[in-house]
């Protein structure tokens, strides 16, 4: 069988980012085989101190979040270091950054300055609100973007305040959209011979996840409100208590699914009940149907209920903690959890690259390294002096 290289092998990325969104995009590119060169100052990326630390003081989150990258140390406040970083940028295919808009322009590392010498450069910026508009200069965080996008407004129960998802959703969304844009720009570069500027905002990335909310509002004036774990457009689709004190998610909103579900519960007559005859009527009577389902699930352990519904062809699964995820047979079979080593030989658990190919490998080489660990090697390989 022919042996192929990773999809982005041979693509060099200069990452001028910190915290979550920019480095997340760099991580995704590194997973696909790109050489990602991450620039840090003496203090390092602030994410190195977020969460429980390993013995070297670096957070486990950082070690996983910045896997497969090369680490160089330069102070962008120092003119000599900026000149060196500029030389790396001019030898790169992609510059990825998440500074406040205009900051890198002032340092001679902005798109217009670099493209004048490297017209094939793909330059990607992630910011809170985008590169223009009245909020351009505001500092943007995922917390704020998720709130202003409407995601928080519809998350939680109607009688309680909006709640956050337990992870940095806006940052990871922006990273995904950024990588999509970068890959499209690389394809266009191959066709047209020139690079492009990719402008991604945390706010817009989150607004894009609101699905039908915008269309419903513009057409019908509907402002979607919080509905807890129930779905306001389909039913049944909720989480339900089980005998062992856990929860199971069930989605049986299509008519054929609901018939199978009713039979699996031993209540086939529910599929003939006028209240539950189609999705619209089931949604109108959502509280009633959820009560009936809860009466059934509370008599079973979560795993048993999952097995019954899997056999019936009904989408269902228990609500997992991270410990449950690590133990799950599907997760283990697919190798979703990977173990990488850092400089000190620590075993760092991380996720496997989500995108899988039949012919091309992805990359799982090493966890994040120490600040500046690759500086000398990168400069030597690129033929860049430090004076």
State yes or no: pLDDT of 2 exceeds 80: no
pLDDT digits (tens, 9 = 90+) for 325-355: 999 999 999 999 999 999 989 999 999 999 9
pLDDT at residue 229, rounded to an integer:
87
Cα-Cα-Cα-Cα dihedral of 215, 198, 50, 106, to 10°? -130
pLDDT at residue 232, rounded to an integer:
79
State yes or no: pLDDT of 387 exceeds 80: no
What is the residue-averaged pLDDT of the chain?
Answer: 95
pLDDT digits (tens, 9 = 90+) for 147-172: 999 999 999 999 999 999 999 999 99
Output the furthest CA–CA distance in the chain (Å, rounded). Answer: 81
Looking at domain 12-209+333-382, its CATH class is alpha beta
pLDDT at residue 146, rounded to an integer:
95
Tell me, rounded to whole angstroms, the distance of Cα 270 from its chain centroid.
39
8 Å CB contact between 169 and 203: no
State yes or no: pLDDT of 173 exceeds 70: yes
Residue ranges per structural domain of the chain:
12-209+333-382, 237-241+247-318
Distances (CA, A) of 148 to 206, 216, 225: 9, 18, 15
Helix, strand, coil percent content, the chain, rounded in steps of 5: 40, 15, 45
Is 12-209+333-382's fold the same as 237-241+247-318's?
Answer: no
8 Å CB contact between 198 and 111: no
Q: What average pLDDT does this structure show over 377-385?
A: 95
pLDDT digits (tens, 9 = 90+) for 250-300: 999 899 999 999 999 999 999 999 999 889 999 999 999 999 999 999 999
pLDDT at residue 15, rounded to an integer:
98
Q: What average pLDDT does this structure show over 158-187?
A: 96
Question: Catalytic site residue 343?
Answer: no
Q: Which of 31, 81, 93, 171 is catalytic?
A: 171
pLDDT at residue 267, rounded to an integer:
95
What tokens appear for 278 in the block?
């189609």
- Give the number of residues written for the chain: 387
Strand arrangement of the beta sheet that strand 35-40 belongs to: 70-73, 35-40, 12-16, 94-97, 122-127, 197-201
**Segment holding 258, helix H or strand E:** helix 255-264
Which residues face 351 on adjacent strands?
337
pLDDT at residue 230, rounded to an integer:
85
How does residue 233 score in pLDDT terms, banded at 50, 70 and 90? confident
Q: What average pLDDT does this structure show over 69-96?
A: 97
CATH number at 237-241+247-318: 3.30.1540.10
How does residue 386 score in pLDDT terms, banded at 50, 70 and 90? low
8 Å CB contact between 22 and 98: yes
How does residue 359 score in pLDDT terms, banded at 50, 70 and 90? very high
Burial 286-318 (b: 16+ CB within 10 A, else e): beebbebbeebbeebbbeebbebbeebebebbb
State yes or no: pLDDT of 29 exceeds 60: yes
Strand arrangement of the beta sheet that strand 316-318 belongs to: 237-241, 247-251, 316-318
Side-chain half-sphere exposure of 70, counting CA atoms within 13 A? 17
pLDDT at residue 1, rounded to an integer:
58
């Amino acid at each position: 069988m022919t042996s192929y290289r990773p999809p982005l092998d041979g693509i060099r990325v200069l990452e001028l980012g910190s915290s979550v969104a920019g480095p997340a995009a760099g991580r995704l590119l590194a997973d696909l085989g790109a050489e990602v060169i991450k620039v840090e100052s003496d203090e390092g990326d602030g994410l190195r101190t977020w969460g429980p630390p390993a013995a070297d003081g670096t957070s486990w989150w950082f070690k996983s979040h910045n896997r497969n990258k090369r680490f160089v140390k330069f102070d962008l406040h120092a003119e000599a270091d900026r000149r060196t970083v500029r030389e790396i940028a001019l030898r790169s295919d992609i510059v990825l950054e998440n500074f406040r808009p205009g900051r890198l322009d002032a340092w001679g590392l902005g798109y217009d300055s670099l493209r004048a010498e490297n017209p094939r450069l793909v330059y990607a910026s992630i910011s809170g609100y985008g590169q223009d508009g009245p909020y351009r200069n505001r500092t943007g965080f995922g917390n704020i973007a998720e709130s202003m996008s409407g995601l928080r407004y519809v998350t939680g129960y109607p009688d309680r305040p909006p709640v956050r998802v337990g992870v940095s959703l806006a940052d990871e969304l922006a990273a995904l959209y950024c990588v999509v844009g970068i890959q499209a720009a690389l394809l266009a570069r191959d066709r047209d011979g020139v690079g492009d500027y990719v402008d991604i905002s945390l706010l817009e990335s989150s607004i894009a996840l609101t699905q039908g909310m915008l269309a419903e509002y513009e057409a019908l004036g509907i402002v979607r409100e919080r509905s807890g774990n129930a779905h306001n457009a389909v039913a049944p689709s909720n989480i339900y208590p089980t005998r062992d004190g856990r929860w199971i998610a069930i989605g049986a909103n299509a008519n054929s699914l609901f018939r199978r579900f009713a039979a699996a519960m031993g209540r086939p007559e529910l599929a003939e009940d006028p209240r539950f005859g189609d999705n619209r009527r089931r949604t109108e009577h959502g509280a009633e149907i959820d009560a009936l389902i809860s009466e059934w699930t509370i008599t079973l352990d979560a795993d048993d209920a999952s097995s019954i519904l899997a056999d019936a062809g009904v989408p269902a699964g228990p609500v997992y903690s991270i410990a449950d995820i690590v133990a799950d047979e599907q997760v283990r079979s697919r190798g979703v959890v990977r173990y990488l080593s850092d400089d000190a030989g620590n075993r760092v658990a991380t996720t496997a690259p989500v995108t899988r190919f039949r012919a091309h490998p992805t990359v799982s080489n090493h966890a994040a390294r120490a600040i500046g660990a690759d500086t000398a090697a990168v400069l030597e390989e690129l033929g860049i002096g430090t004076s």
